[in-house]
Amino acid sequence: MTSIFEPVTVRGTRVRNRAWLAPLCQYSVDARDGVPTDWHLVHLGARATGGFGLVMTEATAVTPEGRITPHDTGLWNDAQATAWERITGFLASQGAIPAVQLAHAGRKASTTRPWRGGVPVDPDAGGWTPLAPSPSPYPGLTSPIAMTQAAIDATVRAFAAAASRAVDAGFEVVEVHAAHGYLLHEFLSPLSNGRTDSYGGSFRNRARLLIEVVDAVRAAIPDIRPLFVRLSATDWVDGGWTLDDTVALSALLADHGVDLVDLSSGGNDPGQRIPVGPGYQVPFARAVRAETGLRTAAVGLITEPSQAQAILDEGAADAVLLGRAALREPTWPVRAAHELGLPVPDAPYPVQYLRGAYRS
């Protein structure tokens, strides 16, 4: 069997293949209540019927103030969890593993949707003051409030409560979002963390909040459920977070019950200079996997089936996450099966679609 279609088992969860849907923000909760809608059912459901092995939600906020925009999904209350049940049930019925990415946007919160400019939301229009490790704003966005110890403790509890709701709602994998300049990444990076208490300064202090969140989430979900963490492997800015930091942190996360790290990069400073190109972030997944032994997932301009299979065959990652390619082509795994020579009976077709199967 081609490597991309080999199943992988993580703790008690067996994923049918290694082509996974990356978390892709949809900004489509028009009621501003964090409750997922028919859009989310169709968006995620189409990728499940399209053959993806694991289907991950967008960044789903653990608190109202943790949303990037007022239109983000959430898991801070039971009404949201109930709405997610219909979606996870459908994903599972199609053979996909439902996964949730839990997030807090930190200083990048309270913005308009990207197609509305991604600018701060006016307080009269429902905006709020963001929370962050330090009061310095992300350029162009609202100045945040530096978090008190009480706010930090409440955030840790919020991640744990959201994780518990996620499992009750049918999610089989939980991912903690610690990348792209959002709250947990803000604490990790010296570019955004100017604290002088036990959450700032040294590497271990800056990693403290993420470790507390991971410990709380791990304790809140069953031992058989996998726990992932998404990291920005580098800030792409001198003096910022580095790949060496990511390798050291990944080893620490493994000791705290994390099963896989999902390696992206950037997002914390507009001064970043990213050499974008096909598979440009794959070396991060390769380095962490080689140096720590922890499972990794690669992401970033992975577009073609042969490219994805080569990443897996060379041992750079245990799975590939597709983002923009999956937006363009919800049935990407089906095409991959055809191009890589997988027989139709083994390809991830819903039975309803077999009449349209690729034939050689």
At 157-169, the pLDDT tens digits run 999 999 999 999 9
Per-residue pLDDT band for 179 (boundaries 50, 70, 90) equals very high
Number of helices (H) and strands (E) in the chain: give both, helices first.
10, 12
- Specify the 3-state DSSP secondary structure of 264: strand
Name which of 98, 126, 84 is nearest 16 in CA terms. 98
Rg of the chain over Cα atoms, rounded to whole angstroms, equals 19
- Please report which confidence band the pLDDT of residue 286 belongs to, taking 50, 70 and 90 as the band edges: very high
- Span 278-296, mean pLDDT? 97
* pLDDT of the residue at 360: 67
Alpha helices in the chain (DSSP H): 38-49, 78-93, 149-168, 183-188, 203-220, 243-255, 282-292, 305-313, 324-328, 332-339
What proportion of the chain, given as a percentage, has pLDDT over 90?
A: 98
State mean pLDDT over 312-317.
97
336 has a pLDDT exceeding 90: yes
Mean pLDDT for 299-303 is: 96
Q: What is the pLDDT of residues 21-42, one digit of tens each?
A: 999 999 999 999 999 999 999 9
How far is residue 217's CA from residue 289's CA, in Å, rounded to a whole number? 23
Contacts of 304 (CB under 8 A, 6+ apart): none
Query: What is the CB neighbour count within 10 angstroms for residue 295?
Result: 21
Indicate the average pLDDT of the chain: 97
CB within 8 Å of 69: residues ≥ 6 apart:
27, 110, 111, 112, 113, 121
Q: Check whether 200 has a pLDDT greater than 80.
A: yes
> Taking the model in full, what pTM does it have?
0.97
Question: Could you tell me the CA-to-CA distances from 130 to 9, 111, 183 in Å, in that order?
Answer: 38, 10, 10
Domain boundaries, the chain: 3-356
For position 359, what pLDDT does the model report?
84
Q: What is the pLDDT of residues 226-274, one digit of tens each?
A: 999 999 999 999 999 999 999 999 999 999 999 999 999 999 999 999 9
Which residues are tagged catalytic? Answer: 182
pLDDT of residue 1: 54
Distances (CA, A) of 264 to 178, 185, 231, 236, 333: 10, 12, 6, 11, 21
Q: Which CATH number fits domain 3-356: 1.10.1040.10, 3.40.309.10, 3.40.50.10140, 3.20.20.70?
A: 3.20.20.70
For the stretch 77-118, pLDDT in tens is: 999 999 999 999 999 999 999 999 999 999 999 999 999 999
pLDDT beyond 90 at 317: yes
Predicted pLDDT of residue 2: 81
Q: What is the mean pLDDT of residues 314-333?
A: 98
Residue 85 φ/ψ, nearest 5 degrees: -60, -40
Span 302-313, mean pLDDT?
A: 97
Taking 90 as the threshold, does the pLDDT of residue 202 lie above it?
yes
